[in-house]
Structure 1
Amino acid sequence: MIRNSGAFSLLGMSKSRACTFGAVLLIWLCCSSLLVAAQEGITDPVEVKALQDIRDSLIDINKNLSNWRRGDPCTSNWTGVLCFNTTKEDAYLHVRELQLLNMNLSGTLSPSLGLLSYMEILDFMWNSITGSIPPEIGNIKSLKLLLLNGNQLTGPLPEKLGYLPILDRIQIDQNHISGPIPKSFAYLNSTKHFHMNNNSISGQIPAELSRLPNLVHFLLDNNNLSGTLPPDLYKLPKLLILQLDNNQFDGSTIPPSYGNMTQLLKLSLRNCSLRGPMPDLSRIPNLGYLDLSFNQLAGPIPPNKLSENMTTIDLSNNTLNGTIPAYFSDLPRLQLLSIANNSLSGSVPSTIWQTRTNGNEGLDLHFENNRLSNISGSTSLPQNVTLWLQGNPACSNSSIVKFCGSQNDDVNNQSSIESNVTCPPQSCPPPYEYFQTSPISCFCAAPLIFEYRLKSPGFTNFIPYRVAFQDYLTSGLELHLYQLDLASAIWEKGPRLKMQLKLFPVYVNENSSHTFNDSEVRRIISMFTGWNIPDSELYGPYELLYINLLDPYRNVLFVTPQKSKISTGALVGIVLGAIAGAVTLSAVVSLLIVRKRSRDYLAISKRRRVSKASLKIEGVKYFTYAEMALATNNFNSSSQVGQGGYGKVYKGFLADGRAVAIKRAEEASFQGEREFLTEIELLSRVHHRNLVSLIGFCDEGGEQMLVYEFMSNGTLKDHLSAKAKEPLSFVTRLGIALASAKGILYLHREADPPIFHRDVKASNILLDSKYNAKVADFGLSKLAPVPNIEGDVPGHISTVVKGTPGYLDPEYFLTHKLTDKSDVYSLGVVFLELLTGMQPISHGKNIVREVNIAYQTGMIFSIVDGRMGSYPSDCVDKFLTLAMKCCNDETDERPSMIDVVWELESIWHMMPESDNKTTDTMSTDIGMEMTSPSACSLLKNPCVSSEISSSDLVSGVAPTITPR
């Protein structure tokens, strides 16, 4: 909220002083900019020389670095060189990132890398660089990401790398690094990720590494490590993944202390020459992936239950004995259980597959080559469960022999993921392709294509996690779910999961842009290359393999601007001219700024004074902060009943005992002030049984609160959620639709002046104890157009687009022209939610498009929400037809709100008498005091005629219905 201090400090100046201040500031900015632009070599000369040395040590057969011989590295945008936007204290620009991913570079790394002393990201991933890692990299104290994986580097790890104070990630995997892990790495106190797998690192894992306070991923698989496993690794407080497969630990046992790694999610020690008993890991609460296969572990499997998060248990190829533990039957997320090639005996408990609640999530059971004698219980397997028993005595039983055949090793190697959408056969012109996940229709667009790999996923079967993964990735990239097309997912050795991701630009309709803009391309790529996508416990660490920039984007990242020479005389003239112009311009601008701020402030102050005075007359009470605190038990969290973009909503009790809903602004602001006053002004003069009533407000001490009547049944959105305890019947849904439409119609036709709501959605429709619906939240509302001087009423308001994705009128979104039909569209989406139970946008699917597809294919009743029980099919059909008309892309094709109410009244009277009798109370309460309706058959579609005035529809006067 804006107060008369701080933000308006210029108001205390005289106009002349303000103008002088503005002029001086603008002159300084102009001159500084011109003088800086006039310099020719503004990158630190030491770093320029270092980059030249780096270039000379590399072999660049594709000439990706050809522009490294022209101009200045920072101002000429050398390929892969990203600089800070401003100079440092030495007045030079400095290199922030060296991004040379997958450029087919060979040669060696220059020691001059150590001279890039401000660098934060060093990325040479997926090239063919040889030689050793220069120790001089240890001089870059600002380094956060060291990314050298996927090359042919040799030699030992430099000791000096252990003294990088803020290094977050060291990735040297898939090279030929040899020698031991330096003990100095124990000083990498900021490092979260050690990715050193697939090298030739030897020696013992230093016990000193157990001091690392932030280590999350410790990947050292496929090396030549030896010695014993350090027992003290359990002290790593944040370790989530310990992956040491395919090393030679000389017959070491697995330390029992590993059972105390309470944060661990994945433990993979496959083929490590380990002996002794299997440790008790039951005290690790979130362990989801366990692979101890191909060792020499002996003794029984510990009987204590493992975490219910287990997706993968691989104990195969050991010498384990005893019986199969009973708790294997109580692991609901299990995808793979392999105990093959051991010495286990006894029965196979059929409860392992019989207790599964979700048969769609596949389960592979590998019990081959043990001493198992039979199956206890049913031998009938649910869908997607496979059982392998060959090599066991049980295979002599004729009822079990069906599980004793050979197996297909590629059961889980899904190589592609098919889209649910089929586009027309005609192709898009290259490099464009069909945007098959667009929310409305197939669309030609140019995607950004990424090769991406999960390095250590916490599951064996990706299919059940596919949708959740897409949601995780698009959320991390700050994109809509529908913008991601997961083109393929292939399991590779590791196991690792390689994917091809296609990202498409935001799609609204056929006039949308077919490409991302340059800044968005840079932002998305930086999210990947800077590892700015939040880590996921389930999906584990990822790596970027390749970025395929199609023609529209090929020059986005590194474009060399054309520079022109300018003489000193001309430069002086420009500077002097700029100074003269700046003096005049700054005086005018400063005066305008001061005047505008004065007007804004005075307007707000006046509005607030007028509001408090006038609204009080209209019966809207002004509450103090103390009254609000008392009503909510000092805003105790137990009083909170909701939260939105505006802030939190509390249930409170006034001094007279009335229950109220108190909406408290999260943070006062100029924008919030406007919405706050808008809602007070509008609600103070609109009164209708289907609009939430404003009781009062509080505007005190930086707090903004609105006090409404309390609606005990919450929002319509809550009741349409899959988590709703009691689903709504069709007649209740129809009543909610009619009541909501009446509230909007009142705003459009009877309010003075009329109002466009602008944010109609399921969460803004509230329900009282009898499920009577009322429209709420007028913070974004706009007054409808008023007649101009000729007496004509404009058809729209031109305004900034605001509202909620999924409910937005497409034409309003494109043209910024708000009309009453914009509310009709939004309400139509709510109708579709009522009918289907679907969300407006979910998993890349748009409700309007999905319903249209179902309607065109004759499958409309397949998407009707089955939770609402039986319903008259003809009534649902008419309701659906109305909803689809409301959601027409063309504004002129939509019905008016009076037509919507008219049609809903007609459907209400079509309802069978038995249904209406159960809702007499509700009908009366929402303003439909009807006589006994004419019953209609569930199979017929009767037509009715009626004479209904707009005032009747708004007020709720019973219309006269004459069956025809």
Structure 2
Amino acid sequence: MVKLYFVHSIRTTKLLISRRYSKSSWKMSKATKVLLLGTVLALWLCSVGANITDVNEAAALRAIKKSLKDPMRNLRNWNRKDPCTSNWTGVMCFNATANDGYLHVRELRMLNKNLSGTLAPQIGQLSYMIILDFMWNKISGAIPKEIGDIKSLQLLLLNGNQLTGSLPDELGYLPNLDRIQIDQNQISGPLPKSFANLNKTKHFHMNNNSISGQLPPELSTLPSLVHMLLDNNNLSGYLPPEFSKMPSLRILQLDNNHFDGTIPASYGNMSNLLKLSLRNCSLEGPVPDLGRIPNLAYLDLSWNQINGSIPSNKLSDDMTTIDLSNNMLSGPIPANFSSLPNLQRLSLQNNSLTGLVPSSIWRNITFNETDRLLLDFQKNMLSNISGTLNPPANVTIRLQDNPVCNAANQLSIVQFCGSQNGTLGEEDAPTESSAKCPPQSCPSEYYEYVEESPISCFCAAPLLVGYRLKSPGFSNFLPYKDRFKVYLTTGLKLDLYQLSIVSLIWEEGPRLRMYLKLFPKFNNQSNIFNSTEIQRLRRMFVWWDIPDSSIFGPYELLYFTLVGPYEEYTIDLPKSSISKGALAGAVLGSIAVAVILSAIVAILIMRRKGIKYGVISKKRLSSKPPIKIDGVKGFSFREMAMATNNFNNSAQVGQGGYGKVYKGILADGTVVAIKRALEGSLQGEKEFLTEIELLSRLHHRNLVALLGYCDEEGEQMLVYEFMPNGTLRDCISARKKEPLGFAMRLRIALASAKGILYLHTEADPPIFHRDIKASNILLDSKLIAKVADFGLSRLAPVPDLEGDIPGHISTVVKGTPGYLDPEYFLTHKLTDKSDVYSLGVVFLELLTGMQPIWHGKNIVREVNIAYECGMIFSVIDGGMGSYPSECVEKFVSLALRCCKDDTDARPSMADVVRILEEIWRMMPESDTSISESIVTDPKKSSSPSSSVAMKNIYVSSDISGSDLVSGVTPMIAPR
């Protein structure tokens, strides 16, 4: 058999060469023949002596690659001969499970590879696999039912893709499955009853899909289930009372589904439960008695139709968050809320609670510098207070829209009755800087100072880690920051100084996304991690070897980035359990193949004539030198891909005709907005650079700042500062549960006008924006407005030879319907008053909450009609609450003047700013306190009489314009 194999190899080699050369040209020296025969022998020896990947599994991997799309070419080495011995990316093998002499695929690791396409059914042929990981890609199609054939599977990780279809019943027959993560896909259909067979499964992470139907009561038999995350689906039916029998369940998170009936009383028997979150689930009936759950820390039953009184049984001392807002609760606020030492948030707003406002809730809490307590009692029927409201600075109390705020003898609580912005849990952890270290810089931009180490400071290169808490048991992270660092470094077996929390962001859920840096230990050689340590740390994250925490809940790895000195490391391939013979065979095989190829290439080179050396590749010819613009950073495509998880859909925050906008986190932790142009909207190189140079000159607190750009690999991207509160359009639409008050809307209007005034008068050269609209005005973390998107902007006209400045620019009409200046539309003459018109439309949106065009109606025309008929208050947005009527009238008058058809009748942008500042000064002091130095010229002020008269006159949103016309007096609201 061996002899036949050897002879066949020789004949095959000779045949291959003879096909290239005719018999007359088959002339080889004896030495050449010996060389070729020797290489064939070496190749044969390595084939006989080495294990190779199971044939069926190798074929399955090739089928998997064929069904995937790989634009970043992360799988480019999947064309090598053998998957296991040739180190295919993401393929990890071992040969310890069977005595068949073959290597078998143990893990398939495809985290963040920017893959799309579908999962091939042949994936089920990887019958020895333990981990299947395709997290954070763009894979579509259905989950193959053949995965149910992989009986060894322990981790099924498919979250963060675009998968559709229903969950296969076959997944319920995986006897060793520990974790199933399919969250953030588009899975539909019911939850299979077969999942009740998953006796070893601890984690059901299936949130943010479209799973529908009844929750199977059969799941109550699962003995090991710890986390059930099914929020943001389309589940219906009743909540199974049998779930109380799950012995290990710690987190039950079912927010944003559509259940019927009540919360089962049996849920009060879940002795191991740490978190119960049933927000916006259409539930009715009473609040169950949860006082028997000893360690319950987080309870959210908000946005339901729960009625009756709040149980007065004592709750767990571990409780951090109680949210019962937006229900139909009645009765008093119970005394049991006054004995919760770890409470961070108690939200009871928008119910029908009566009785006293308790002033004792915070008395059993010992506050340190980072502790915060929010008590939100707005929109109830609370009539008085118990004792005196004199909380410490750490406590925020909200009492707006309660009778207690209208009582004449309660002037001491006026500070708690105003509208307050911001919510607990939105703060970022302070960046951990190296302020204590000496000023000299580290040797490379990838190295940073490490503080609090055994030698105080040293330079080292960090690993960059994206990390997310999927269901934290608190509302405010800062008090738990030090505890978290101890928890994570202990789990990773690192020293405390080796972890830096660069930033954190609260996301919908609520979930807490973190950007971390891991530093190597100090040593006297090279202060970087070695490859073994990198593999160990990554494995700790992806194998979930870090123990679960009761307060921090489940976590997930978003990315594990290697930059600087780590770029050449391979993190996809930890050492597999492959025998020494297999490795030796792989090496010999590589040598043999190399020798054969060298011999054949040498023969071809000798036979061919006229070959010219030094040919420059097309790629090099097509390459272009990097562009540099002073004051603006040039980013690489790799940096942009890393910042956005390979432009993952979960990072997308907007889209327009130019392309998509992504939220990204740069390597230094800076959160940015990345505008990525579509292929069809790419500008020429000159035009793109001109736009960047123009934007780089714009510096104003009310303009979104350009931080950098990317012009690489056929891409054009602009990098802006990130605005966490989104667009003004979103903030004044129904998407926001807490509409903006009038004072905040006025502040936004003034800030927007100042930004545009800068463009018109102070920018060098001056600029006409040309596309001002509510969706191009963005709001930062403090709701400060900034004008964005200068893609349609034009330079203002320049003086001619005689020094005269033309009054307009003749140009093709561009902009957004509803905001377009009518004269510009008709004449194609763009002026500074065109921006004034568009901003006037934005002002009307702020005042009315309407869109510029809706149901065939135009906002300018509708407001004009109401104004001329004396019915202006009938179109004012009811979501503003109470407001000073004269201030609103002046604001409406200004907005309508801005929207005059006649250009000359419109005010200049300077006049707009001046009038808005006058309106601001008319506002009561309690409202104007929300801004810092918003009025540019404090010396200008309205007359004392008008100012004093207006401070106490407010119009309720319940009063219509007809009431005012008929003589109803505006509401007098003490402030």
1:352 alignment partner, SS class: coil
Matching of residues 271-310 of structure 1 within 5 Å: 271-310=280-319
| Conserved 8 A contact 2:429-2:478 | no
- How do residues 356-435 of structure 1 correspond to structure 2 at under 5 angstroms? 356-360=365-369, 361-396=371-406, 397-419=410-432, 421-422=434-435, 423-428=437-442, 429-435=444-450
State the shift of 1:434 in Å.
Answer: 2.3
Using the TM superposition, give the Cα deviation of residue 559 of structure 1 relative to its aligned residue in structure 2, in angstroms: 7.2
Instruction: For 2:94 and 2:452, locate their aligned partners in 1 and report how far apart those are by CA, in whole Å.
Output: 37
CA distance in 2, matches of 1:520, 1:401: 58
Query: Do 2:434 and 2:450's aligned partners in 1 also have CA atoms closer than 8 Å?
Result: no
Residue type at the aligned position of 1:536: S
Query: Structure 2 counterpart of 1:269, which letter?
Result: L
**Which residue does the alignment assign to 2:340?**
331
Offset, 1:38: 6.1
1:211 maps onto 2:221 in alignment: yes
> Is this contact kept in 2: 1:275–1:296, CA < 8 A?
yes
Which secondary structure state, in structure 1, belongs to the residue aligned with residue 343 of structure 2?
coil
**8 Å CA contact retained: 1:359, 1:382:** no
Q: Does 1:514 align with 2:522?
A: no
Confirm whether residue 68 of structure 1 aligns to residue 85 of structure 2: no
Partner of 1:354: 363
Q: 1-side partners of 2:456 and 2:591: how far apart?
A: 56
Residues 311-343 of structure 1, C-alpha deviations (whole Å, 9 max, x = no match):
000000001000011011100000000000001
2:254 corresponds to: 244
Q: Quick one: structure 1 residues 559 and 241, their matched pair in 2 at CA, closer, same or farther if it must change by over 3 Å?
A: closer
Q: Give the 5 Å matches for 1:250-269.
A: 250=260, 252-269=261-278
Query: Normalising to structure 2: TM-score of the pair?
Result: 0.53
Matched, 1:449 2:460: no
Q: Give 1:315-714 correspondences, 5 Å limit.
A: 315-360=324-369, 361-396=371-406, 397-419=410-432, 421-422=434-435, 423-428=437-442, 429-508=444-523, 511-554=524-567, 555-558=569-572, 563-565=587-589
CA contact (8 A) 2:163 2:185 kept: yes
Contact 1:40 1:72 in 2 (8 A): no
- Please tell me the residue identity of whatever aligns with 1:417: P
CA distance in 2, matches of 1:45, 1:337: 60
d(CA) in 1 for partners of 2:312, 2:280: 23
Name the structure 2 match of 1:898. Answer: none
Per-residue CA deviations over 1:768-817 (Å, capped at 9, x if unaligned) read xxxxxxxxxxxxxxxxxxxxxxxxxxxxxxxxxxxxxxxxxxxxxxxxxx
Contact 1:445 1:514 in 2 (8 A): yes
In the alignment, is the contact (CA less than 8 A) between 2:450 and 2:497 conserved in 1? no
| Matching residue's letter, 1:404 | C
Measure, in 2, the Cα distance between the counterparts of 1:494 and 1:59: 31
Displacement of 1:408: 2.0
SS at match of 2:357: strand
Asked if structure 2 preserves the Cα contact closer than 8 Å seen for 1:330 and 1:352, the reply is yes
> What is the match of residue 118 of structure 1?
128
Alpha-carbon separation, structure 2, partners of 1:542 and 1:534: 10
| Matches of 1:288 and 1:93, distance apart in 2 | 48
Distance 1:184 1:498 in 2: 33
Inter-partner Cα distance in structure 2 for 1:270 and 1:559? 42
Superposed displacement of residue 412, structure 1: 2.8
CA contact (8 A) 1:83 1:94 kept: yes
1:556 is aligned with what amino acid? T
Aligned residue-pair number = 535
* Among 185, 193, 196, the residue aligned to 2:203: 193
Maintained 8 Å contact 1:109/1:133? yes
Q: Deviations over 1:606-642 (max 9, x none)?
A: xxxxxxxxxxxxxxxxxxxxxxxxxxxxxxxxxxxxx
CA gap of 1:134–1:362, structure 2 versus 1, over 3 A, is same
Q: Percent identity?
A: 64
Structure 1 residues 437 and 70, CA gap change in structure 2 (3 angstroms): farther
CA shift, 1:431, in A, is: 2.1
- DSSP 3-state at the match of 2:267: helix
Task: Give the partner amino acid of 2:307.
Answer: A
**Cα gap change, 1:435/1:36 in structure 2, threshold over 3 Å: closer, same or farther?**
farther
Contact residue 220 and residue 245 of structure 1 kept, 8 A: yes
2:155 is the alignment partner of 1:145: yes
SS in 2 for 1:153: strand
What code does the residue aligned with 1:505 have?
P
**What is the distance in 1 between the residues matched to 2:526 and 2:478?**
32
The correspondence for 1:223, drawn from 214, 233, 253, is: 233
Structure 1 residue corresponding to 2:140, chosen from 130, 152, 156: 130
Instruction: Provide Cα deviations, 1:665-709, integer angstroms capped at 9, x if missing partner.
Output: xxxxxxxxxxxxxxxxxxxxxxxxxxxxxxxxxxxxxxxxxxxxx
SS at match of 2:276: strand
**What do residues 407-450 of structure 1 show as CA deviations (whole Å, max 9, x unaligned)?**
22254312242326413444431322222353323322111111
Secondary structure class of the residue paired with 2:163: coil
The equivalent residue for 1:107 is: 117
CA distance in 2, matches of 1:514, 1:85: 36
CA distance in 1, matches of 2:110, 2:319: 39
Q: 1:345 offset after TM fit, Å?
A: 0.8
What does residue 728 of structure 2 align with? none
Structure 1, residues 164-201: CA drift from partner, whole Å, max 9, x if none? Answer: 00100000000000000000000000000000000000
Contact 1:41 1:72 in 2 (8 A): no
Change (3 A) 1:128 1:507: same
How far apart, in 2, do the equivalents of 1:567 and 1:441 lie?
49
Contact 1:455 1:543 in 2 (8 A): yes
Structure-2 residue corresponding to 1:176 = 186
Residues in 2 aligned to 1:553 and 1:394: alpha-carbon distance in whole angstroms: 62
Q: Any unmatched runs of 5+ in structure 2?
A: 1-43, 575-582, 596-975
SS in 1 for 2:162: coil
**TM-score, normalisation: structure 1:** 0.54
In structure 1, distance between residues paired with 2:253 and 2:591:
63
SS of 1:485 mapped into structure 2: strand
CA offset digits 1:814-868 (Å, max 9, x no partner): xxxxxxxxxxxxxxxxxxxxxxxxxxxxxxxxxxxxxxxxxxxxxxxxxxxxxxx
**What SS does structure 2 have at the residue aligned with 1:407?**
coil
The verdict on how the C-alpha distance between 1:154 and 1:335 changes in structure 2, with shifts beyond 3 A counting, is same
State how far apart, in whole Å, the 2-side matches of 1:404 and 1:168 are: 50
Q: Distance in 1 between matches of 2:242 and 2:573?
A: 51
Shifted more, 438-447 versus 330-339: the winner is 438-447
Give SS of 1:436's match. strand
> Which residue matches 2:176?
166
Q: Go from structure 1 to structure 2 and tell me whether the alpha carbon gap of 1:559 and 1:167 turns closer, same or farther (over 3 Å shift).
A: closer
- Equivalent residue number for residue 93 of structure 1: 103
Q: Which residue does the alignment assign to 2:94? A: 84
Task: Measure how far apart 1:529 and its partner are.
Answer: 0.8
Distance 1:464 1:37 in 2: 61
Q: What's the secondary structure of 1:272's corresponding residue? A: coil
Q: Contact conserved, 2:345 with 2:424, CA < 8 A, in 1?
A: no
C-alpha distance in structure 1 between counterparts of 2:314 and 2:46, whole Å: 68
